[in-house]
Amino acid sequence: MNLVVVGLSHHTSPLELRERLAFSNAELPSALLRLHKGLGGAGVVILSTCNRVEIYTHHTMEPDELRKEIRFFLSESHCVPEEAFRDALYEYENREAVGHLFRVASSLDSMVVGEVQILGQVHDAYIAAQAEQTADKVIHALFQKAFTVAKNVRTQTTIGEGKVSVSSVAVDLAESIFQTLSGKTVMVIGSGEMAELTLKSLVSRGVRSVLIVNRNAERARALAEPYNGEAIAFEELNNHLHRAEIVMSATAAPRFILHPPSFHHALKLRGQQPMFVIDIAVPRDVDPSVAEIDNVYLYNIDDLEHVVAENLELRRKEIDRSMELVEHGVNQFMQWKDTLVAEPTFVSMTEELNTIRERELERTLKALPDLTETQRQEVAALSKRIVKNILQRSMVEIKHEIGHHDPHTVLHLVKRFFGLRETT
């Protein structure tokens, strides 16, 4: 059985390509089921975030064939020819796939190293697979171990201290542009987690006023109220756009919600005073051609990388320690996975020893006809305890040997030792 991950991220692909291959929350259940069924019941998890699209699978298929099937699935699901994204993919198998997931969950592969959102996103991807029953035993154990490793990294290092979210980095960018956010008006479009995190960061930097825009007026008011912000219905967006020096957009809209005419109108009302627009949504909320308008300065999530570089340098000392924890977790998981090959042998051992136990118990009880029923039960219980102890100690030692030597060689010797039939 092989573990394989195929994916692309901000490290390997531009935002435009990630947008084309992303799975929305609404698309995820059917995508999981299609791939699970297409691979004949393989264990499957799909992780799709702003910065990455990754597919984790566990299957008897050879890794090369499995990777080929996943590439076809990505192409077919999004009507994107494989040649358009083939060079951007990374493909890992078994130990390398395990290490990759552990680094992702621990935020060591994130644009902002140490950010906390990715762990929640990995958890959500796993829960979605559980809900559709596409996570098999190994996938289940893999993701549970990933959560443990991420927790260890978070608690045993300082990798997560300071500004560690994409939203806070976006606010850093705005502050670097204006020097100070005090006295500024900021418009936040969207009411999801990313929008709220951005809003908290803005308020902490002393912005004068906040405008909250959402398609649902009640949700806009609910988000605006704790921050003394002003709620604006989505339909009124263009009538208020000119009021903001900074516009941050983080909706889940499937297509652009802001276009050049909106900004031409806003600039006219602002007397051509500059506007800074930070689009941290994936897919993007703002038409990229807006960047061509004079006095509008548009940044998207990929543009945050120069701020992230500074963040990464501050955390570099903690990365080595975090990588050690990841490697330790990988070793533990792979040792566990290697022992799975022994399960059929353990079943055969148990059956063989119990067959011997039952045969010898029957012979012994026949030789002792004067035993009471209670005594006969005690003898039977004793025989079960002896076999259980032999099996437990043997299995522990066999797992240990498998973890340090070739599993097939170890199991061959075990089968010979216990007189078990060789299986193909």
The CATH number of residue 213's host domain is 3.40.50.720
| pLDDT of the residue at 317 | 74
Dihedral (CA of 395, 396, 400, 401) sign: negative
Cα(35)–Cα(391) distance, integer angstroms? 39
The residue segments making up the domain with residue 352 are 342-418
SS3 3: strand
> Quick one: 155 and 172 in the same domain?
no
Domain boundary residue, one of 130, 160, 190? 160
pLDDT at 335 over 70: yes
Same domain, 7 and 152: yes
User: In this predicted model, what pLDDT tens digit does every residue of 11-33 receive, in sequence order?
Assistant: 999 999 999 999 999 999 999 99
How far apart are the C-alpha atoms of 112 and 104, rounded to whole Å?
11
Alpha-carbon dihedral of residues 303, 304, 309, 310, nearest 10 degrees? 130
* pLDDT of 127 strictly over 80: yes
80 and 23 share a domain?
A: yes
**77 and 223 both lie in a single domain:** no
Note the pLDDT of residue 190. Answer: 85
Question: Are 6 and 155 in the same domain?
Answer: yes
Question: Three-class SS of residue 214?
Answer: strand
Is 331 part of a structural domain of the chain? no
* Residue where the block lists tokens 């119990």: 354
Residues 340, 362: Cα–Cα separation, whole Å: 34
- How confident is residue 340, by pLDDT bands cut at 50, 70 and 90? confident
Q: Does the pLDDT at position 75 exceed 90?
A: yes
Amino acid type, 52: R
Q: Are residues 77 and 226 in the same domain?
A: no
Tell whether 289 and 403 lie within a shared domain.
no
Please indicate, yes or no, whether residues 15 and 63 belong to a single structural domain of this protein. yes
Q: CA 229, CA 245: separation in Å to the nearest integer? A: 15
Q: Which residue has the higher pLDDT, 421 or 48?
A: 48
Same-domain status, 212 and 259 = yes
Say if 85 falls within a structural domain. yes
Q: How far apart are CA 133 and CA 365, in angstroms?
A: 49
Q: Are residues 292 and 349 in the same domain?
A: no
Give how many domains the chain has, as a whole number: 3
Q: What pLDDT sits at residue 5?
A: 97
Residue 248 lies inside a defined structural domain of this protein: yes
Of 60-69, 113-122, 176-185, 264-273, least confident by mean pLDDT is 176-185
Output the CA–CA distances (angstroms, integers) from residue 87 to 37, 81, 247, 316, 389, in the order listed. 27, 12, 34, 29, 54
Note whether residue 325 is domain-resident: no
- Per cent of the chain over pLDDT 70 is 95
pLDDT of residue 77: 96
Whether residue 422 contacts residue 415, with contact meaning beta carbons closer than 8 Å, is answered with: yes
The catalytic residues are: 50
The mean pLDDT value for 203-229 works out to 86
Distances 13 to 9, 17, 51, 87 between C-alpha atoms, Å: 6, 6, 9, 9
- In this structure, are residues 414 and 390 in contact, taking their beta carbons and an 8 Å threshold? no
307 within some domain: no
Domain presence at residue 58: yes
Section 346-372 average pLDDT: 91
Q: Does a structural domain hold residue 335?
A: no
- Segment holding 216, helix H or strand E: none
Q: Which residue in 105, 7, 56, 23 sits closest to 282, CA to CA?
A: 23
Nearest to 97 by CA among 55, 144, 49: 55
166, 111 Cβ separation under 8 angstroms? yes
Q: Which strand ranges, in their side-by-side order, compose the sheet holding 52-59?
A: 43-48, 52-59, 2-9, 90-93
CA distances from 106 to 5, 134, 262 (A): 17, 23, 40
Q: Rounded to the nearest 10 degrees, how much is the dihedral formed by the CA atoms of 305, 309, 311, 314? A: 170
Taking a C-beta distance cutoff of 8 angstroms, is the pair 51, 301 a contact?
A: yes
- What percent of the chain clears pLDDT 90, i.e. is strictly above it? 58
- Please report the pLDDT score of residue 423 as a whole number: 55
Of 160, 181, 206, at which residue does a domain stop? Answer: 160
Lowest-confidence segment of 42-51, 210-219, 264-273 by average pLDDT? 210-219
pLDDT of residue 339: 80
**For position 424, what pLDDT does the model report?**
43
* pLDDT over 90 at 1, yes or no: no
Residue 188 CA to chain centroid, in angstroms? Answer: 27
Residue 259 lies in a domain: yes
Mean pLDDT of 38-43: 92
Q: How far apart are CA 390 and CA 400, in angstroms?
A: 16
Comparing CA positions, the residue from 45, 43, 42 lying closest to residue 23 is 45
Instruction: Please report where in the chains the tokens 């969950």 appear, as a residue.
Output: 105
Q: Based on the domain organization, do 124 and 91 belong to the same domain?
A: yes
Q: 92, 5 in Cβ contact below 8 A?
A: yes
| Domain match, 410 and 383 both | yes
Query: Of 127, 160, 193, which residue sits at a domain end?
Result: 160
* Range scoring the smallest mean pLDDT among 116-120, 135-139, 301-305: 301-305
Which domain CATH number covers 133?
A: 3.30.460.30
